[in-house]
Structure 1
Amino acid sequence: MANTNLNRQVIDIRTSSGVGDISNEVLRRWTDKGYDMAVKEGNYDRSREHLNFEIVNGGKVVPVDKSRPLDQRMAEMLASRGIKDPNIGRKNPNVRTAVQFVFSGSHDRMTELAFGNQEVDFEAKCGNEDVQRKPEIEQWAKDIYNFVARKFGEENIISFVVHLDETTAHAHCDIVPVNDQGRISYKDVFHGHTKPEYKEFILQLHNELAEVNRKWGLARGTSKMLTGARGHTNESYRRWLNQECDSLEERRDNLQKAISDLNKELTTAMTKQKSFTTMIENLTAQKESLEKELQPLRELQKNGDAISQEIAQKIQDLENRKALVEEKLAEKEAKLSSTAQEIDSLRQDKEALEQEASELAAKASASEQDWAHSKGAVMNELLAGTMMHEFTSCYQRLPDEAKEVFSDTLLEQLATDGNHVATVALALMCEYVEQATSIAQTHGGGGGGPGGGWRKKDDEDERMFARRSLAMARRMCRTSGRRKKM
């Protein structure tokens, strides 16, 4: 088994007003063109798609059911229990009716669980048809499914799909947050009425999941709530942002090209449709004309009147011409039907790509803002760090009478105990009062703590709360008995 010290569990939690937008991706309900685009833009390997599976009621492992989209499953589940979807009928459906979990772990360990020691080519995105799914990944998935079922109710699980066709094996689990009164309420189920309650609930959720993952060699990582990070160091996060912006821009360009190509295909298909329609109209007119010419001749035949060989031959020729027209007509109608289906498929693909492009544009904009902010943060961090280092160095060389000028100021505290002040301030910003108090007291602070009820005020922005947290941290880190300079 891979070293547990190096392998960490992963859990991502998101909310949405439904599951329709993610259904095709989770279930792989794509057209061939859609799948080709997904493979081109993402890390999907179609040769491993057959390894994906679902966990259903009772913890049974079954193939992925593509016939029932997730929004249909959710609607059927709510209807069977008489639960009202609060978004139905809303002009802007913004109630959080679905919670989307992604469960995974470090790449090496998840690969070991999914494929054992088999050779898997993750770069080629093809050629892995002979790779087999190992029973360990199924058992891991069952354990995670049972964990979710115990925590949130098996009856509230919309789907639990495990993907083995991407770079790292992972499970998508979608649930409806139903409270004890049988109503959809994200805040009730996830203890989200106050920020401290919610943070405590999520931290406990991570801890409980770690107990499940322990047997699979996946340890609990440091919570993002404690670090304020995204699972990266500051430097690696900034590198990730740079790469993310480049990647998003490339994906956006590829999507625009794909949409342009689809528009060309649509134009061609619609031209064909118009052409076939015109041909059908002309052939139909020819058929009617032949039928009109044949009708009196058939009447002569039907009445038993003697007809000349010439008329008989004419009837035969007209019948042959009519049969040929009908054959061409059937052929063109079949082609028209096929073209109509092609146009419908192209339009669906185009709509899906345009939706993805719209979402990508929003994501790219957010990432670019993050990127710009990260550059500013780097410069601010550098300036602050340099000033602190230089002042600390100069402060130590000052005579005592000169140091008295800085007595009990922030500059003095930063020069003598800067790291602890910053750590306590950060803990207070995260509303971890006990940890902040413990850190301050452990390092000689005697200024007391903020007491109960410490939290960000409703009328405070982040900067105001940070300033108040820093002021409180200074007080808490002040040596006991030291008098504040006026």
Structure 2
Amino acid sequence: MAKQVMDVRAGAGMTVSQSNEHLRVASNGAYVSRLSNNFDPTRERLNFEIKNGEVTPVDKATSIPRRIETILWQRGIKDPNKELIKKGKDPNRRTVANFILGGSREQMHRLAFGNQVVDLEHGANNSAIKRMPEIENWAKDMYRFMSAQFGEKNIAAFVVHLDETNPHIHCTVLPITKDEKLSWKKVMVGEVDSKFEYQKRMMKLHDEISKINANYGLERGDAIAETGAKHRTTEQYHQELRKELKEQNKRLFDTKIVLDDAIEKNEETIKEQKQTIDSLNKEIKHASARVKGLSTMIEHLETYKEDLEKEIAKLKADRDSGKISAEEAARKMDAITKNLEDVKAQILDKESKLSVAQAKLDSLNAQTSKTETRYQEVKKKLQTALPEYNKNAMQEMEAFGYNLAAFDAMKRMEKYNEMTANMSPDERRILDKYNSVLLDDSIFEQMAENATEITTVATALFLGYLDKATAIAESHGGGGGPGTGWGKKDDEDELAFKRRCMLMAMHMMRPQNKVKRKR
């Protein structure tokens, strides 16, 4: 049976470029070309949104960031990231939950297109493909489920993409509490802010959504087993570990990706893009002020023009009624008419300047969006590449780990020799039989079993990629992260920091509920 998909990522708000991709908004030819590599333009018409529980066309006029701002403004909720930006700091508060809902490709295609055959080759023409009602029913059920879980008024966008390889939903949820405050912790995690509680809540969410997906041929995915070592002998287990370790080390050292130059280039690109964005934001600020100033001046001139026209009408009425002579009326009317023509000329001049200023502002906004997209792409690429492929740091950390393991084994052997020095031969034979207890849970044992994983986590910690380190540890059965405030201390040399990274990596790689082995 086909499997369901539910993924959620935290976000510090949503950028214009993310919104443009969700809503398929393109402001220039280059952006259209880039997007067309990710989706089929001939199927874009099949995309839709769910609003108030009903199917509607995708609303491209209102960006998702603007929708979020409107929701928060109407409900009097402050965005903490805006306060950080005002203080010149990077926004880092988790104010958006980005859900992706879907399932196995074949079943999702059956829901979306029925028996129609979709050509997935790039550039194919699928303009004849029609959207099936089943996908709409599924999307509406998903919308009702998310509304029940997080509140319908907290859903900023619910967009269904049928123009990509696998149909899916992008659901943007604002984590707003019952007392109208943004709080990722209270809404997405619970009162106890821990990864364990978050995982429990997400597992429960998977279970509950599977009850609805079962009606559409999608089932809950199977849990991933930790190792399966209980079905093997200890010797078989260690043989497989040693084999896997050799293979992993071979892959590591045979990797030919050298990123030092690329990393330096990406860092320089990020710096340049950030400077460009800052410069463009300043220009946008000035351009916006000029547009506003010109608009205000035009409004004042239009009001003045209306007043002059009223004066002319009054003069004509006074002349016709005989209140003033025709000569006096003509004299005053000439002066007012001259003033009126001057005002009309000023209005035309200001409107012309306003048109130029507005065009410049639109150009700056488009340029900023393009630069912001490039900045986020390079930044993401650098963040994911550094901890995974920094080969030199990885090799150095691995060598240091093996040195620690050798030193630890030596100390334990010294302890063993001290214990056996005054024993009889029989006592020594008995102790030799059980000498493995000296190595239980030691650095030597840990490095033998998890060398590659431990050194990978230690390298990520050394380079400052704490989320990456935590994710690797958790994916291999470990528990917890390095805690808050992790990093190199001011009075700590590099060697001491590496040692601390290695010890922390081994701590993170230990299972949360490890049961001590009995030998």
TM-score (structure 2 length as normaliser)? 0.54
Q: Is the 8 A contact 1:43 1:125 kept in 2?
A: no
2:357 is the alignment partner of 1:361: no
User: In the alignment, which residue of structure 2 is the partner of 1:352?
Assistant: 369
Of 9, 13, 16 in structure 2, the residue corresponding to residue 14 of structure 1 is: 9
Cα 1:188/1:105, change in 2 over 3 Å: same
Report the Cα distance in structure 1 between the residues aligned to 2:99 and 2:14, rounded to whole angstroms: 12
Contact 2:482 2:508 in 1 (8 A): no
* C-alpha distance in structure 1 between counterparts of 2:57 and 2:507, whole Å: 55
Change over 3 Å in CA distance of 1:430–1:28 after alignment to 2: closer
1:33 and 1:349 in contact (8 A); partners too: no
Match of 2:202 in 1: 202
Question: 2:50 maps to what in 1?
Answer: 55
Match status 1:467 vs 2:506: yes
Is 1:36 equivalent to 2:35 in the alignment? no
The residue type equivalent to 1:408 in the other structure is: V
Letter in 1 for 2:57: P
Residue 23 of structure 1, aligned match among 3, 19, 22: 19
1:442-461 correspondence to structure 2 within 5 Å? 458=483
Check whether the contact 1:225–1:430 (CA below 8 A) recurs between aligned residues.
no
Q: 1:79 to 1:242 in 2, by over 3 A?
A: farther
Match of 1:138 in 2: 136
Query: 1:46 Cα deviation (Å)?
Result: 1.2
Which residue of structure 2 lines up, in the alignment, with residue 88 of structure 1? Answer: 82
Q: 1:136 to 1:226 in 2, by over 3 A?
A: farther
Q: C-alpha separation between the residues in 1 aligned to 2:354 and 2:207? A: 57
Q: Report the identity percentage.
A: 33
Aligned-pair CA distance for 1:347: 4.9
Q: Distance in 2 between matches of 1:176 and 1:170?
A: 20
Shift of 1:208: 1.7
**Where does structure 2 lack aligned partners over 5 or more consecutive residues?**
228-246, 274-350, 403-428, 453-469, 487-499
Instruction: Give the 3 Å change call, closer, same or farther, for CA 131–69 of structure 1 in structure 2.
Output: same
Per-residue deviation, residues 133-188 of structure 1 (Å, max 9, x unmatched): 11111111111111110100111111101011111111111111111211111111
Q: Tell me the equivalent position of 1:69.
A: 63
> Could you report, residue by residue, the CA deviation over 1:408-445 in whole angstroms, capped at 9, with x for unpaired residues?
24479999xx989x9xxx9xx7599xx99xxxxxxxxx
Q: SS where residue 407 of structure 1 aligns? A: helix
Cα shift at 1:53: 0.3
Counterpart CA distance in 2 for 1:472 and 1:85 is 38
Letter in 2 for 1:153: G
In the alignment, the residues of structure 2 paired with residue 62 and residue 182 of structure 1 have an alpha-carbon distance, to the nearest angstrom, of 28
CA contact (8 A) 2:98 2:173 kept: yes
Structure 2 distance, partners of 1:175, 1:472, is 33
Amino acid at match of 1:78: L
- C-alpha spacing 1:210/1:184, structure 2 compared with 1 (3 Å): same
> What are the equivalent positions in structure 2 for 1:383-398 lying under 5 Å apart?
none
Query: 1:8, 1:220 within 8 Å by CA — same for their partners in 2?
Result: yes
Mapped partners of 1:371, 1:120: distance in 2: 36
Count of aligned residue pairs for this structure pair:
341
Query: What SS does structure 1 have at the residue aligned with 2:117?
Result: coil
CA distance in 1, matches of 2:256, 2:207: 32
Q: 1:20, 1:69 within 8 Å by CA — same for their partners in 2?
A: no
The residue aligned with 1:476 is 515
Alignment RMSD:
4.9
Residue type of the alignment partner of 2:384: S
- The Cα shift of 1:474 comes to 11
Contact conserved, 2:480 with 2:508, CA < 8 A, in 1? no
Q: Deviations over 1:173-212 (max 9, x none)?
A: 1111111211111111012522322221122122222222
TM-score normalized by the length of structure 1: 0.57
Distance in 2 (CA, whole Å) between partners of 1:462 and 1:119 is: 53
Match of 2:181, as an amino acid? Answer: R
1:218 matched residue in structure 2: 218
Distance 1:131 1:123 in 2: 15
Structural mapping, 1:278-427, within 5 Å: 347-372=364-389, 404=433, 406-410=435-439
The CA deviation at 1:470 is: 7.0
Greater Cα offset, 341-350 or 203-212: 341-350
Letter in 1 for 2:213: N
The answer (yes or no) to whether the contact 1:100–1:174 under 8 Å persists in 2 is yes
Residue identity opposite 1:46 in structure 2: P
In structure 1, the residue matched to 2:41 is 46
Gaps of at least 5 residues in structure 1 are 228-233, 260-332, 385-399, 437-453
Alpha-carbon contact 1:242-1:371 (below 8 Å) kept = no
Aligned to 2:168: 170
